[in-house]
């Protein structure tokens, strides 16, 4: 948490709302207006919107437990370089590390914990403070991969099929998030037969490292993986979740 310095938050905009889902529209509209004014792209706006909605929903429902006498405080700063949002409730708090892993097989039907997983997948930084009453998250305008010099033409196209309990466990969200750390393009999608397919193009070393990262992150769910390499097509510009 060395990156988070409360002294740097003195200039943040502040919005205090009642514990009411309808009230959450106020900070959301204000932040989205700033995103548009600073010309953030659609992918970044989608990611920030998702994280903000999850944080506000958790504050209203789980933190303040829908108690109309309590308030939710939203502080935020939008600059051309990054977006920082802090959502605070007046509830009893919680310990994030003790929230059960929502991707575990015995919790696939339980929604609890999915908001935390999604925020961590889409944001560059997520921290909890004051015993979980306050969540701080940041999204940079460009990921480290986007700041890299333009890569040479892809050298291989790799198709990977994962089998096991790989659907409904956040596999696609995790793979999509991990892809941002590597110079790869392509997609991840669920297949009708229960498998997950990843098609990635890029340098062999980058794809090897990406595949290893996915395998490590989802190892408890993967029973088997097969892969095949082929010449690249150059058809992709980004890495996305396909449907």
Q: Which positions are catalytic?
A: 172, 190
Closest by CA to 11, choosing from 72, 95, 79, is 79
The DSSP symbol for 233 reads: -
Please give the Cα distance from 143 to 156 (Å, whole number). Answer: 23
Please give the Cα distance from 163 to 181 (Å, whole number). Answer: 24
How is 168-185 classified by DSSP, letter by letter?
SSSHHHHHHHHHTTTTEE
Please give the Cα distance from 95 to 111 (Å, whole number). Answer: 17
Please give the Cα distance from 111 to 144 (Å, whole number). Answer: 31
Residue with tokens 């429902």: 61
Give the C-alpha distances (Å, rounded to integers) separating 136 from 68, 199, 224. Answer: 23, 33, 37
């Amino acid at each position: 948490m060395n990156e988070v310095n409360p002294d740097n938050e003195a200039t943040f905009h502040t919005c205090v709302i009642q514990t009411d889902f309808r009230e959450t529209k106020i900070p959301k509209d204000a932040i989205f207006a700033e995103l548009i004014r600073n010309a953030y792209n659609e992918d970044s706006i989608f990611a920030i919107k998702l994280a903000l909605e999850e944080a506000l929903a958790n504050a209203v429902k789980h933190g303040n437990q829908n108690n109309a006498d309590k308030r939710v405080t939203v502080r935020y700063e939008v600059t051309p370089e990054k977006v920082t949002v802090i959502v605070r409730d007046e509830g009893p708090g919680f310990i994030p590390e003790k929230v059960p892993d929502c991707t575990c097989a015995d919790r696939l039907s339980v929604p609890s914990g999915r908001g935390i997983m999604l925020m961590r997948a889409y944001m560059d930084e997520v921290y909890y403070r004051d015993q979980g009453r306050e969540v701080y998250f940041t999204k940079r305008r460009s990921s480290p991969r986007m700041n890299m010099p333009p890569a040479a033409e892809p050298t291989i196209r790799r198709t990977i099929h994962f089998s096991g309990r790989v659907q409904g466990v956040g596999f696609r969200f995790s793979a999509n998030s991990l892809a941002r750390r590597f110079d790869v393009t392509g997609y991840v999608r669920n297949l009708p037969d229960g498998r997950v397919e990843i098609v990635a193009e890029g340098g062999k070393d980058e794809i090897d490292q990406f595949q290893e990262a996915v395998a490590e992150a989802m190892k408890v769910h993967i029973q088997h993986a097969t892969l095949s390499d082929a010449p690249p097509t150059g058809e992709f510009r980004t890495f996305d979740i396909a449907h």
